[in-house]
Amino acid sequence: MSEHGFHVHGPHDHEVEHVAKHGGDSFTSRLAVMTAVLSTVGAIFGYMGGHSQNAALLYKNEAAIQKTSASNQWNYYQAKSNKQNLAELSVTLTSGDTQEKFKQAIERYKKEKEEIKLDAEKLEAAAKEADKKSEQEMHVHERWAMATTLLQVAIALAAITLLSGKRWMLAGVYCASVLGLVAGAMGYLHL
């Protein structure tokens, strides 16, 4: 209890404070230090997981923008096709100078359509690339999330080990820690 009323903390905090004030055995000290290190690494992994998730969302937004632009280009292409069709119909219905004017319009529409088609295809390719990058970032995010979760499990097991005094539980702490660090390395290496 403190001078201002209640002082609430968990059993793990109490044990760490006890060791700091009164000293403790090396088992307790080492486990407390390991828990602090795991907490720090877990915080870094959590940050990296959030970063990769944000990157995935940005790429997904970019893909949506590119898809919308490609759709607009294809609509423009269709409008030019409609004008070309009307010009072709006009060629058959007219003669003389008017017919020649529509023939020139047909050629102009064909050229414009090719340019529009190239732009639409480039936009579609950019959208596919952004989607691919988004999927890759989500995969990395899953690695970071797995690493963070495994380190949280290791920290919880360390607390249980400390409170129960059962040293055999350290095997679970070490196993979860190693798996978490491996998953973190996989996230870092984009595997």
Closest CA to 120 of 71, 60, 61: 71
**Residue 9, in any domain of the structure:** no
Instruction: Determine the Cα–Cα distance for residues 146 and 119; give it in Å rounded to an integer.
Output: 41
Tokens 């732009």: give the residue.
119
Query: How sure is the predictor about 1, in pLDDT bands with cuts at 50, 70 and 90?
Result: very low
> Residue 51 sits in which domain range?
20-188
Please determine, for residue 54, whether its predicted confidence score (pLDDT) is greater than 80: yes
The 10s digit of each residue's pLDDT in 113-136 is 999 999 999 999 999 999 999 999
Here the tokens at position 157 are 């097991």
Whose tokens are 């690339």? That residue is: 129
In a domain, 161, yes or no: yes
**Residue 4 belongs to some domain of the structure:** no
Number of domains in the chain: 1
DSSP secondary structure of 66-104: HHHHHHHHHHHHHHHHHHHHHHHHHHHH--HHHHHHHHH
Residue 134 is assigned to a structural domain of this protein: yes
Mean per-residue pLDDT, 67-85: 93
Global pTM value = 0.69
